[in-house]
Amino acid sequence: MKILKSACIVLTSLLLSSSVSAQTQAQSPEFLQYEHSTWVDSVMATLTPNERIAQLIMIAAYSNRDDEHRKEILKQITENKIGGLIFFQGGPARQAKLMNEYQAASKVPLLGAIDAEWGLGMRLDTTISYPFQMALGAMQEDSLIYDMGVEVARQIKRVGLHLNFAPVVDVNNNANNPVINYRSFGENKYNVAKKGIAYMRGLQDNLVLPTAKHFPGHGDTDTDSHYALPQINHSRKRLDTTELYPFREIIKAGIGGVMVAHLDIPALDSTGVPSTLSKPIISGLLKEELGFKGLIVTDAMNMKGVTKDNAPGIVDKDAILAGNGLLEFTVAVPKAIQEVRKAMRKGLITQADIDNRCRKILALKQWVGLNNYQPTSLENIIEDVNTPEAKLLNRRLTEASLTVLKNEQQILPLQKLDTLKIAAISFGKKKESKFQKSLSLYAQVDNFNVPNEVTPEQLSAIKEQLNNYNLVIAGVHDHSSYPRNDLKLSSEAQEFLSELIKSKTTIASFFKNPYVMDDVKDIENAEALILTYQDSENSEDLAAQLIFGGVSANGKLPVSVGEKFKSGEGLEVKGGLRFKYTLPEDAGLNSELLYQKVDSLMQKAMDAKAIPGGQLFIAKDQKVILNKAYGYHKYSDTIKVKTTDIYDLASVTKVSSALPSLMKLYDEGKFDLETGIDTYLPYFKNSNKANVPFRQILAHQAGFQPWIPYWKNTLRKNGSYKWHTFKKDSSSRYPVKVASNLWLHKNYQSKIYKAIKESPVKEVKKYEYSGLVFYLLPGIVEKISGEDFVTYVDDNFYTPLGATTLTYKPNNKFSIDRIVPTENDFFFRKKSIHGSVHDEGAIMMGGVSANAGLFANANDLAKLLQMYLNGGSYGGVQYISEETLKEFTKYQFPENDNRRGLGFDKPSLGERTENGNAAKDASELSYGHTGFTGIMVWMDPATDLLYLFLSNRVLPTRDNTRLYSLNTRTNIQQAIYDAMKN
């Protein structure tokens, strides 16, 4: 019975073992199906023994070297019949052209490989660099890494190549690793394996062979195998459980290639030979134990880790004897072939073995399509590897990697902007950084820079100025395009950063290798700490957006940072609070169609001298997809328009000052649409405007006169000013500035009110645009609220929105160089208008009116308008109720053929035309306004679309109406809708 019981136990054990083995058996790489195909057989029949060996050899090629290099590569192809090329530095077009030439010279189509761990940008100029694997290791969405693999595969094939020596699946558990480090997904073996498999599948599903590297694991070393042979002194058990884990998993997942590192690992091979030359490691461990059947590739055979004490050619032969199937970067091809032949004659390796490896190479060539080789097209190759979709993927990967390690009091995203005085300090930058520029899109931010070697005088000046700020945003920048594990900031700069964190409310954004944080004193004590893993345009831009709630963060730290932070830490911060600045494809628009059309229409308008320049702003779903400046301030100017420049908004002031105020007061029950002007201004009680409901007035259906040329009453018949109306100097009697040498009498505004009061009112109530009431609205707002009008709109809207440039009297706040000029006024002010409002009535009101007077750049005005689109909410604040916005922006009297809302313009009723006041495709829910100086703003709730057009078409004269005849503004608006359809 004991014997029978024992036998049953053994049998059960064997069955379980067999079951586990079957479950974990590696998938056979797809390309192996072609090992005995007709094409492979036919090629094999043409190859000599030497040529079969040569198929296992890949040499280095460059597209940024001279003609001598090109001739040397051709010689290797024609004389030695090598099997492939690995391309290093150069450019995509040059490389593709060379590869075409090399393929034409080759007896058998060549395999083309590249190290594209983070995309073609790792080797080629004018191409995309995706985030390094350390950043990808922080991501929680592995599907995005698959998408990256798909896109990298597409780009690799587009430049005529077939192999990517990626992904890196080394577990980086040594912070001092000089060669893997940021190239690894991190220290967590499970995370490394999952992300490595996702990247592998993206490549392999699209017929680019990936190679997992650097087998059996290069993560735990402080030696760079490019310069010496690293030794890893771990037990076999430790290697099995940690270093080998990702390789085992990715092999089970069916990867087609594995690259072997140059390492000395006594637990696996006690002879001290590099793993590349080790039969126990390659044939024993990788092939037999792990069951890998795909292509085994050496690391570069010119690296010191393998060439030290090993002669060229001989070392290549030893790599073949160890079991490798492809030699990368062989430097002595004839010698290598000769040495392998010698080994064959000595019986160290058989012809059958070489043939099997040769067949594997040929099978791979068939799998990638080289059996039907076609030259690579050079047409549009730069554009094809830099598509908008590829760029958007890059931004999505960066955004998904953002990691927040501290967020005390939920300071992120920033709220209550009206309570903040913000200083942005870029450490390690000598001039304004992209980070600082992006921060300034959201609020008033004053910039300071602390270079690596900052002087005591520089620090002293900055410290003194910082007394005026209650929030510091510190960006710690890298000195290199690669996030190396070092810190170049001087001890003085580091100490200053530490002082800031201890003395000020500080948000720190770390644009460096995470390991470096261990050397930065007090960085862990910042109120908020953001880690981006590297310093790039995308990382700086998106970190700034994260701070203000434009984007989210949910990254997790993939490595431990000393005792400060542990792997897996990371807080979630939700975005969507304010604008996200992104690419059109992120909002479902076709960027090529959009940019081409709007740029063309803007250029046409500038060429026709309809406008000297302008700003365009487009946002969909609160995603800013265009914020662009065009042309110049003046036709004869050299000052180019910038997106930060400020334009006179003319009548768009109506929907940007008085209307938000009235809507807020309406919400509070303090303003009634069914009452008249006289309810709030008793001066109008006995006028013909008494009891006319505001609903009719704001809908331009009250019968009011369109406008009154107040300024004409200040001039004599000969054109000179009436002496009692204007003086050249200011005084208590003449306090209203109209121009630098023109001051208006203090009582003249009462004459404007009187003119409005006594103006006629038509009996027939139909749509006729009138701006008269907008001169009165600031006084009405003041009467109801008890506050100064400018203070009211500033405190309730502009400042909390972060709309820094949305202001009256901009020349009191901003440099004149930032303010775009308007008309050369030859009939009233008799000078060029620059820095003050263009509208004569508004300037006679002291520059403050609800009819005109506001200035802004497109970005700041858009914040107010996006708040409307959001149903009255922006930045976490509800300014106006959604119900009130719907009431003010709907058609009020459509039965009377009146297209207006309350103050807002709306699309024409009935059938639309191409020359209408809004795009043909704008919905009936849409609304907006235009301005006399060449402004147009429009919002469409049906598509969540926001459009702003800012220009100074009145320069040099208001008689320039070409902008209207070209219909530029609505044509651009229609182009946006067209781009949404494609």
5 falls in which pLDDT band (50, 70, 90)?
very low
Going by C-beta distance under 8 Å and a sequence separation of 6 or more, which residues neighbour residue 199? 136, 145, 146, 148, 149, 166, 167, 210
Side chain identity at residue 796, one-letter code = N
**pLDDT for residue 310:** 86
Number of Cβ atoms within 10 Å of the Cβ of 532:
31
What torsion, rounded to 10 degrees, do the Cα atoms 91, 92, 94, 97 define?
Answer: 160
What CA–CA distance (Å, rounded) separates 945 from 926?
Answer: 9
711 falls in which pLDDT band (50, 70, 90)?
confident
CATH number of 402-576: 3.40.50.1700
562-617 per-position pLDDT tens digit = 999 999 999 999 999 999 999 999 999 999 999 999 999 999 999 999 999 999 99
Burial class (CB in 10 A: 0-12, 13-18, 19+), 779: middle
Number of Cβ atoms within 10 Å of the Cβ of 79:
11
* Residue listed under structure tokens 């690799």: 156
Q: Beta partners for 629?
A: 615
**pLDDT for residue 11:** 39
702 or 913, greater pLDDT: 702
The answer to whether the beta carbons of residues 806 and 856 sit under 8 Å apart is yes
What is the DSSP code string of 71-98? HHHHHHHHHH--SEEEE-SB-HHHHHHH
pLDDT score of 9 more than 50: no
Burial class (CB in 10 A: 0-12, 13-18, 19+), 642: middle
Backbone angles phi, psi at 285, to 5 degrees: -80, -55
Strand ranges (DSSP E) for 435-527? 445-450, 471-476, 506-510
pLDDT score of 73 more than 50: yes
Backbone angles phi, psi at 655, to 5 degrees: -85, 0
Rama region for 257: left / alpha / beta (φ>0; ψ in -120 to 50; rest): beta
What CA–CA distance (Å, rounded) separates 788 from 779?
Answer: 9
What CA–CA distance (Å, rounded) separates 272 from 477?
Answer: 41
Going by C-beta distance under 8 Å and a sequence separation of 6 or more, which residues neighbour residue 471? 414, 420, 421, 422, 423, 504, 505, 506, 507
What CA–CA distance (Å, rounded) separates 497 from 490?
Answer: 11
674-699 per-position pLDDT tens digit = 999 999 999 999 899 999 999 999 99
- Give the helix/strand (H/E) hosting 621: none
Is 11 strand, coil or helix? helix
**pLDDT for residue 176:** 94
**Distances from the Cα of 567 to the Cαs of 192, 592, 909, in angstroms?**
13, 41, 61
pLDDT score of 703 more than 50: yes
What CA–CA distance (Å, rounded) separates 289 from 6?
Answer: 28
SS3 labels along 173-241: CCCCCCCCHHHCCCCCHHHHHHHHHHHHHHHHCCCCEEEEEEECCCCCCCCCCCCCCCECCCCHHHHHH
Residue 48: both structure tokens together: 């000599």
Work out the average pLDDT over 943-953.
98
Residue 64: both structure tokens together: 């940024």
What CA–CA distance (Å, rounded) separates 31 from 42?
Answer: 17
Class of domain 596-673+772-981: alpha beta
CATH number of 13-378: 3.20.20.300
pLDDT score of 23 more than 60: no
The answer to whether the beta carbons of residues 583 and 627 sit under 8 Å apart is no
What torsion, rounded to 10 degrees, do the Cα atoms 9, 14, 16, 22 define?
Answer: 180
What CA–CA distance (Å, rounded) separates 613 from 637?
Answer: 11
Instruction: Identify the CA nearest to 402 among candidates 614, 571, 164.
Output: 571
How many residues would you count in the chain?
A: 982
What CA–CA distance (Å, rounded) separates 921 from 923?
Answer: 6
Backbone angles phi, psi at 936, to 5 degrees: -150, 135
Location of each CATH 3.40.50.1700 domain in the chain: 402-576
Averaged pLDDT of the chain:
95
pLDDT score of 71 more than 80: yes
What CA–CA distance (Å, rounded) separates 321 from 873?
Answer: 70
pLDDT score of 332 more than 90: yes
**pLDDT for residue 943:** 98
Cα diameter, the chain: 132
276: Cα within 13 Å, side-chain hemisphere:
32
Instruction: Identify the CA nearest to 654 among candidates 406, 415, 853.
Output: 853
The answer to whether the beta carbons of residues 277 and 322 sit under 8 Å apart is yes
83-124 per-position pLDDT tens digit = 999 999 999 999 999 999 999 999 999 999 999 999 999 999
Q: Beta partners for 969?
A: none
* Residue listed under structure tokens 């709730």: 941
808 falls in which pLDDT band (50, 70, 90)?
very high
**Distances from the Cα of 853 to the Cαs of 720, 732, 784, 871, in angstroms?**
25, 23, 21, 26
Number of Cβ atoms within 10 Å of the Cβ of 160:
25
Burial class (CB in 10 A: 0-12, 13-18, 19+), 66: exposed
Q: Beta partners for 473?
A: 424, 507
Give the CA angle between residues 416, 419, 421 to the nearest 5°: 120
SS3 labels along 516-541: HHHHCCCHHHCCEEEECCCCCHHHHH
What CA–CA distance (Å, rounded) separates 822 from 645?
Answer: 13
8 falls in which pLDDT band (50, 70, 90)?
very low
Location of each CATH 3.20.20.300 domain in the chain: 13-378
Instruction: Identify the CA nearest to 462 among candidates 423, 436, 501.
Output: 423
- Give the helix/strand (H/E) hosting 755: helix 748-758
What CA–CA distance (Å, rounded) separates 704 from 696?
Answer: 10
779 falls in which pLDDT band (50, 70, 90)?
very high
218 falls in which pLDDT band (50, 70, 90)?
very high
Work out the average pLDDT over 120-143.
98
**Distances from the Cα of 39 to the Cαs of 32, 107, 192, 366, 368, in angstroms?**
13, 14, 38, 8, 13
Strand ranges (DSSP E) for 645-735? 647-648, 726-727
7 falls in which pLDDT band (50, 70, 90)?
very low
333-345 and 314-322 helices, crossing angle to 10°:
50
Burial class (CB in 10 A: 0-12, 13-18, 19+), 706: exposed
6 falls in which pLDDT band (50, 70, 90)?
very low
- Give the helix/strand (H/E) hosting 930: strand 927-931
What is the DSSP code string of 481-513? SS--S-----HHHHHHHHHHHHHS-EEEEE-S-
Residue 691: both structure tokens together: 């009891």
22 or 226, greater pLDDT: 226
Give the neighbor-by-neighbor strand order of the sheet with 736-739.
726-727, 742-744, 736-739
What CA–CA distance (Å, rounded) separates 474 from 812?
Answer: 30
**pLDDT for residue 17:** 38
742: Cα within 13 Å, side-chain hemisphere:
18
Give the neighbor-by-neighbor strand order of the sheet with 647-648.
647-648, 854-856, 807-808
Strand ranges (DSSP E) for 709-763? 726-727, 736-739, 742-744
Peptide bond into 956 cis (omega under 30): yes
What CA–CA distance (Å, rounded) separates 770 from 692?
Answer: 14
DSSP label of 795: I
